[in-house]
Structure 1
């Protein structure tokens, strides 16, 4: 590295920055929980076909209107009806379902009559209505709560409504709610949640960007206390982040709940590489090496290890690309590329700074340096004296952590990412407690027999068994299905008696075809297909978590297998909630599969450096330790595997392996000078060991910043990655030297074999 090459790098960096400035697209934020579905999943393909036939199961907004002591107040009901009509008139609203204009059929001698469920035309009618509804469990938990304190408006919005359109619609609905005389109301649903998430994302992005800058400035000031060594490194890091975000936007990417973590992650990774370079540079300056020669030596010796650490870190992130989850795939890919952008920024701009400004190191506290070296020397002596104990401890703790890790369950919730005290969480909990839940439950039913339809009695009988099990298994109050139509007709034929809301006897069902067709023409419930060969069973349930959800789904599958006649009825669970529950399990599995790929690449890189697969596998062992210990720590702290915690393993491995790469490349450099392992190890421990401690402190500080987040994914990333970096430091400082000393003959043989003949004889 010389001045000409350094300024050539500056020119390239300048042109790259200019290109990204000219092509800047502007920041865009997005939150769509469907981005966490598993791509290439047969269940996802099936659901996409299902919603084309019926409807998207989460395109609704739940609005609960409250009144004390109960909803049976004529003024309140009139105000609610007016509000319903206003919401129906909004663009993007398809339908508003409520008790306010719901009709109930009555079949008498003179045909079918319909009466309003809620009649407040007189106080006497209102009393009769209250009495009738109190005896009818059909509507409790669905369109009114158990205590008749809240009335539900189920607002069905445009299918797969765009984020911007959904925001406008919810703002219009919220405006109507505020203008209404009704002051007690709650709302929950997709169009509200997406807007809240994006607002939170924008706040988090700005907050973390500022906090990361403050953190970097503080760390640089503590380390160097020289203005250019504080300002210029920050500028270099910010340029690397700008390149990353500009490239993301240029290629059609958007900032989401995952990518909002990028700035602090890239900042601490860039700062870590910079500290390795500046620490080595300081050491040479203190040895009175001329500045130009020191810069050349630094980049000559560290260019390869810095590149390898950037590559392994990038590969750790890129391993997330194998998860098949849209949001995780692009977070992994863009952050992996961001690490490489950061390396390019560092290597093209830092040499110019070192050539231009006064050298670091001469004014540093030499007493402090001597204490560092003395402490590291004593630590190394202790490690040599306790080799067997260290090996036993690391193996024992790792095995124990592995056992604990195997007992960590996979469990996640739809609103996992929000803080517990967020108003949106309170609203969703409200609907879980009072209205059977806010989580959609969808089950597809079909008839394979060409001679039957879903309205044949034997098919309805199977569906009736299934509906009863669904209500019991999922603790839901109401299941909407083709069976609902038949039960409503039976109730109508019995004078509106609530007890008659059931499947009639086969004899009573005969001759019901004409009435059924009349009912179907009057109101399409959206639960049967045009050819009457398939249908849906739709309900809402409490969000009990993916672990419990998967257990309930398995219960249903077992019930279908043992109790439903497949010749008559085919059953399949589907829907967005089912896919999210499944994604938590699949992501955990796929992250660990991706780690297998990352393990292979690390072994390959170290194997090439030392031309020995035995050495490569030994180096891999200390990097498995932090992963096992994190898993054991998760069991200890009661943290489950889920979307937000599984990704930590890929991030942690990609960053933690850097210490091993730095240690091994420096050891190789010392041995290439002719030093045998004992002496080379001591020199490496005294120099790179110190840098590893400093960079671990820097990286941990940077990731701990994420714990200020109100979102779950950044919080867990901050806590667990910081913990893993500490574990990686212990493994690299204590166990890696012990492992390498166990193959001293092999390493020394490689050194002696690479020496000229004269030096071999001297050895």
Structure 2
């Protein structure tokens, strides 16, 4: 394209770019934050399909709120209980509340042959702390469920409608807080899915705003240091900011929300776009020093850095795209969005920046570039030391890798509900309180299915086997069973024996079971029984909660549970199946290591094919892969020794680091090949490559590390570790490129005879 056509079409392209940017900027306003636990369920999975079908039969296992109110003087004082009762009644009236269970609205039933009477556990007409507390604490289903064992707090179990929207859930939380303040309750704690969702989304919003602000500051600082002019600050900013607008606005166009992993998007886009822009602007300013014609200076800069920047953009995007093979939807989304973002940054840099160069040529006076004796001096000394000590360096590298492999073997896979929050976060402390005093917040579900159709869930043999399971779960697993058919029948049996707690047992005869069944089917117009058994009466539900012990411990408890089932022959006529939202998240984590290795392997393979195609050498391909596996093995060893567990947030480190770290290797190999093509011998070509690319590699790594280091200011531990570990990985990758790569090229690579 000639200069005239470039100017003519350049203005048209710039106009289209402005229109597109304004439109995408508008679409940012429709982008929302999302913290949907179901996005972490395994996709195309039989257990997920089973749970979704199971949930349709019953209800969600996760749509409830727990509110604990503490009393310094103990809970059995009348003014406190009166306020609790008023609070309970007011919460029941709030929109989207299905029901509220509180010790002040619960009754004990006494059934005789002639009549049924009920008596509230807290009798406000004749309140007696001693008598009422004794009645409550003899019934084990109330302890650590509605009242704490130490009698210092009361818990309200609030069931809200399933799957309410973000707006409705936020409104519900506001109404609950207002009700608590109205009755002067200040020492209270709340937990539940929508409580965690709101807290996480608020933190995500704060983090994203923080990263945008820090990115803007860092961007201006780097541009000023690099170009020391107003032009050098403003023109590059157009591309960097536009890249962020395009990718976030694009998410709005496709109705894609920002999940917890994508909160780092602005910062990573800033880092990627900054790298592309600095390469092109630096080369353009260099060209202006020797070329008066602006169009020719643009052509020179695009020609010289275009292909190398394109290749590094491709390898970086491949690193992100490989996350598609991690079977966790938020990670997949993150990989796709960031991969596209990297390509958008490259596209805008090389399409729009040259047009801006033409319209705004740059500083009128370009200072003649001076020889940088500092870099030349120390890089030369460093290169000589590496060549002279290649044996020692190789041995040290081997020892470090061996130690790292040992550390790698110590990496654990684990997951907690409040995993990403720091220990001093208020909501994490609240959840831990419920773990300690109320059996936890983490849902626990077992579906019990009848194998032999000659039985039903009401059969004595079936109920006895279910009772054995429930006793095991309570005693050894640590489950606080909230609802089940066995528990309901035990309460009914106690009621038919004047509330005597000795009869909190399954009825022994089938005749009594049939009698109790008629009563249970009438509770809440039949809605209650439908919450614990399905319409066919072939599937029963055991529902409870457990403390958040972590995926590792829970997996071991699950193994022991099924050992108990097999050892006691409980599965001869029954099928026991763990299910529920938490179980599915745990299951997905088990596949994390496999999908991570798969994604990383595909990333390495594609990058290897690209390098092999460009350099037409199997040895170059092998050398580049070895060099870039070193930092990955090293950081895995660090994680193992320090105890940083492999989880959703830390799993993406390896593929991102590989995609970015390989960029320096490509630049180094490209310059090395160029020197060989000039007819230089191998050692001279290596030295020239080292001196010319060494400085750029060091500065680029410093920029990348500075950007990623900002992630340590995140509210989330996962993001904190992501930033810290990426910085370490990229630094180790730089060391490998400046030490191991030259040694491997010198020892292993045999260049063919090349013409000058």
Q: TM-score normalized by structure 2? A: 0.94
Of 135, 138, 150, the match for 1:135: 138
CA separation of 1:419 and 1:364: change in aligned 2, threshold 3 A: farther
2:55 maps to 51
C-alpha distance in 2, partners of 1:13/1:536?
62
Contact 1:436 1:476 in 2 (8 A): yes
Q: Once the 2 structures are TM-superposed, how far is the Cα of residue 520 of structure 1 from its aligned partner?
A: 2.9
* CA deviation map 1:36-92 (0-9, x unaligned): 222122221111111111111110010112223222222322222221122111221
C-alpha distance in 1, partners of 2:273/2:113?
83
Root mean square deviation, CA, Å: 2.2
Determine helix, strand or coil for the equivalent of 2:119. Answer: strand
Contact 2:315 2:662 in 1 (8 A): yes
1:537 maps to 542
Q: Once the 2 structures are TM-superposed, how far is the Cα of residue 703 of structure 1 from its aligned partner?
A: 0.3
Of 387, 390, 393, the match for 2:390: 387
C-alpha distance in 2, partners of 1:84/1:306?
63
C-alpha distance in 2, partners of 1:670/1:13?
38
1:81 maps to 85
C-alpha distance in 2, partners of 1:232/1:649?
33
CA separation of 1:502 and 1:18: change in aligned 2, threshold 3 A: same
Of 634, 654, 662, the match for 2:659: 654
CA separation of 1:497 and 1:190: change in aligned 2, threshold 3 A: same
Contact 1:63 1:187 in 2 (8 A): yes
C-alpha distance in 2, partners of 1:663/1:499?
80
C-alpha distance in 2, partners of 1:298/1:186?
61
C-alpha distance in 2, partners of 1:703/1:722?
6
Determine helix, strand or coil for the equivalent of 1:446. Answer: strand
Of 724, 730, 738, the match for 2:735: 730
The answer to whether structure 1 residue 301 and structure 2 residue 304 are counterparts is: yes
Contact 2:276 2:345 in 1 (8 A): no
1:176 maps to 179
The answer to whether structure 1 residue 18 and structure 2 residue 23 are counterparts is: no
* CA deviation map 1:514-548 (0-9, x unaligned): 23211231251511112211111111111011111
1:468 maps to 471
Unaligned runs of 5+ in 1: none
C-alpha distance in 1, partners of 2:297/2:262?
38
The answer to whether structure 1 residue 206 and structure 2 residue 190 are counterparts is: no
Of 584, 592, 595, the match for 1:590: 595
Determine helix, strand or coil for the equivalent of 2:591. Answer: helix
1:222 maps to 225
C-alpha distance in 2, partners of 1:74/1:573?
42
Q: Once the 2 structures are TM-superposed, how far is the Cα of residue 718 of structure 1 from its aligned partner?
A: 0.8
Q: Bigger CA drift: 164-173 or 333-342?
A: 164-173
Q: Once the 2 structures are TM-superposed, how far is the Cα of residue 194 of structure 1 from its aligned partner?
A: 1.4
Of 92, 95, 98, the match for 1:94: 98
Determine helix, strand or coil for the equivalent of 1:478. Answer: strand
The answer to whether structure 1 residue 571 and structure 2 residue 576 are counterparts is: yes
C-alpha distance in 2, partners of 1:139/1:318?
51
Unaligned runs of 5+ in 2: none
1:408-487 alignment to 2 at 5 Å? 408-487=411-490
1:372 maps to 375
The answer to whether structure 1 residue 493 and structure 2 residue 515 are counterparts is: no
Determine helix, strand or coil for the equivalent of 1:155. Answer: strand
C-alpha distance in 1, partners of 2:134/2:344?
70
Q: TM-score normalized by structure 1? A: 0.93
The answer to whether structure 1 residue 721 and structure 2 residue 726 are counterparts is: yes
CA separation of 1:563 and 1:584: change in aligned 2, threshold 3 A: same
1:160 maps to 163
Q: Once the 2 structures are TM-superposed, how far is the Cα of residue 494 of structure 1 from its aligned partner?
A: 2.7
* CA deviation map 1:551-593 (0-9, x unaligned): 2222222222322432321101111111222233323331221
The answer to whether structure 1 residue 231 and structure 2 residue 234 are counterparts is: yes
* CA deviation map 1:245-300 (0-9, x unaligned): 11111111112211111111011112122333345456666778986555433321
The answer to whether structure 1 residue 246 and structure 2 residue 249 are counterparts is: yes
CA separation of 1:20 and 1:231: change in aligned 2, threshold 3 A: closer
Q: Once the 2 structures are TM-superposed, how far is the Cα of residue 509 of structure 1 from its aligned partner?
A: 4.8
C-alpha distance in 2, partners of 1:220/1:487?
73
The answer to whether structure 1 residue 270 and structure 2 residue 289 are counterparts is: no
Contact 2:33 2:205 in 1 (8 A): yes
The answer to whether structure 1 residue 28 and structure 2 residue 29 are counterparts is: no
C-alpha distance in 1, partners of 2:378/2:353?
30
Q: Once the 2 structures are TM-superposed, how far is the Cα of residue 360 of structure 1 from its aligned partner?
A: 9.8
* CA deviation map 1:619-650 (0-9, x unaligned): 11111111111111112322111111111112
- The size of the alignment, in residue pairs, is 747
C-alpha distance in 2, partners of 1:347/1:432?
55
